[in-house]
A = this chain, B = another copy of it.
């Protein structure tokens, strides 16, 4: 939850957010964080439950969020844009300045960190086919595609290289297979090097 202020959504002019509205927004997000954490994902999470824990009416939720997935997404936004900033303007190897395979490995490490810390939220944000709808997926995908280009590897692999970051995959590796985050990251590190490193200019 990291004390984030109300933040009336920067962009075009906006009437201004009323104090009670801001208070409820905070309540809802805090409640959602708690509910998703307890459920360990999206399984038993309903709009009703979140409203009950937040102490607000259901309609108050529906005013801002159409479903539980978009609440989880709102909670993830700040963490995701942190990584996005690191890619665009942070220091290497996540940011520009390192060879492609190191940048990919750094990207994987950052995402494994996000999954480890907020797995329940990422799972909660995946209801339906939501993943490919969020703007951030397209941005990350594009980042990987550029790295593939730079390494002279087929850009068709972009989604393939994104696939291991699906939250259900991470969850399975951690909870069923018993892998540590370090083992997962190490595997992805190996993958990065093998796919992107030392490419003989492909044909």
Contact = CB atoms under 8 A, between A and B. Distances in A.
Interface of A: 43, 128-129, 131-132, 153-154, 156-157, 159-160, 162-164, 166, 168-169, 172-173, 176-177, 179, 183-184, 186-188, 190-191, 194-195
Nearest to A165: B163
A154 B190 contact: yes
What are the 5 closest A-B residue pairs judged by CB atoms, nearest first? A163-B163, A156-B187, A160-B164, A163-B164, A157-B187
B195 A156 contact: no
Number of copies of this protein chain within its complex: 2
Nearest to A160: B164
25 contacts: A132-B168, A132-B176, A153-B190, A154-B186, A156-B179, A156-B183, A156-B184, A156-B186, A156-B187, A157-B187, A157-B190, A159-B164, A159-B169, A159-B173, A160-B169, A160-B188, A160-B191, A163-B164, A163-B166, A166-B166, A166-B169, A190-B195, A191-B195, A194-B194, A195-B195
A172 B179 CA distance: 28
A47 to B, nearest CB: 19
Q: Is the interface of A mostly helix, strand, loop or mixed?
A: helix
A131 B168 contact: yes
Nearest to A171: B129
A128 B42 CA distance: 10
A126 to B, nearest CB: 9
Contacts of A164: 159-160, 163
Contacts of A177: 159
A131 to B, nearest CB: 7
A150 B169 CA distance: 23
